[in-house]
């Protein structure tokens, strides 16, 4: 098995180094999960084997897995941003992603004041569409079996994209090939085997995914 996790962007192969995720970055989502609004950006990580670019979702039959739709950034320059204005120079691509979450496990870990890693990092849980150079400025959305479940816009973020990149890069210097999930709007909820998921922005469909039963 090839243990390198790579994507193709601008006709080049890029090795994914880290998967960072901003949590609690949309006020309505914070409220729907009864969390507190953050006073500074909050991040967690997903494992590299969680990267999923195959348009397929495999879940255990009895698992309660929730969808969290997000704008995802691809980092094309390493180091620390000098300012929020400088942060844009670190971003080379934009995509839509789904942060799949084992919600009961996450709730259990939160109650024990433990890290979320195991609830967020199972194989295939970091779904990422094809990266594009164009920033996603339209409303982005997720539908399940034709019914819209999530809709958001980057302007609804508590901490905007530049704030996130500046803050994170000055805590952990960024590397070429890092990707950053920027937070999810409200409407998160469970997926089930057989669901057909569509994601896009504006009038544009980006990905169509099918939820299938995991096999050993």
pLDDT tens readout for residues 116-135: 999 999 999 999 999 999 99
38-48 pLDDT, tens per residue? 899 999 999 99
Confirm whether 207 is domain-assigned. Answer: yes
Confirm whether 40 is domain-assigned. Answer: yes
Task: Give the pTM.
Answer: 0.95
Give the pLDDT of residue 3. 57
* Number of domains forming the structure of the chain: 1
Rg for the chain, CA atoms, rounded: 16
Domain extent at residue 126: 6-213
Confirm whether 1 is domain-assigned. Answer: no
Residue 165's CATH number = 3.90.850.10
Confirm whether 10 is domain-assigned. Answer: yes
Give the pLDDT of residue 158. 95
136: left (phi over 0), alpha (psi -120 to 50) or beta: beta
Q: What is the DSSP string of 121-173?
A: -STT-EEE---BSS---S-EEEEETTEEEEEE-GGGBSS-HHHHHHHHHHHS-
Residue 4's pLDDT band (cuts 50, 70, 90): confident
Token pair of 15 as six digits: 């090795």
Place of tokens 């941003």: 81
**Residue 169 phi/psi, 5° resolution?**
-65, -25
Task: Tell me: pLDDT of 216 over 90.
Answer: no
Confirm whether 86 is domain-assigned. Answer: yes
> 3-class DSSP state for residue 184?
coil
Task: Tell me: pLDDT of 169 over 70.
Answer: yes
Cα 53 from Cα 7, distance rounded (Å): 8
């Amino acid at each position: 098995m090839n243990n390198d996790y790579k994507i193709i962007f601008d006709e080049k192969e890029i090795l994914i180094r880290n998967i960072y995720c901003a949590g609690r970055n949309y006020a309505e989502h914070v409220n729907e999960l009864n969390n507190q609004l953050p006073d500074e950006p909050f991040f967690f990580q997903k494992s590299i084997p969680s990267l999923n670019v195959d348009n397929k979702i495999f879940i255990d039959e009895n698992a309660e897995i929730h969808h969290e739709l997000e704008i995802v950034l691809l980092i094309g320059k390493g180091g620390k941003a000098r300012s929020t204005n400088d942060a844009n120079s670190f971003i080379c691509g934009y995509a839509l992603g789904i942060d799949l979450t084992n919600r009961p496990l996450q709730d259990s870990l939160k109650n024990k004041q433990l890290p979320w890693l195991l609830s967020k990092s199972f194989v295939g849980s970091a779904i990422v569409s094809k990266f594009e150079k164009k920033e996603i400025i339209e409303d982005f959305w997720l539908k399940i079996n034709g019914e819209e479940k999530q809709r958001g816009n980057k302007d609804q973020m508590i901490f905007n994209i530049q704030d996130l990149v500046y803050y994170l890069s000055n805590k952990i210097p960024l590397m070429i090939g890092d990707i950053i999930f920027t937070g999810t709007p409200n409407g998160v909820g469970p997926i089930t085997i057989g669901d057909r998921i569509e994601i896009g922005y504006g009038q544009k469909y980006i990905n169509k995914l099918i939820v299938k039963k995991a096999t050993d």
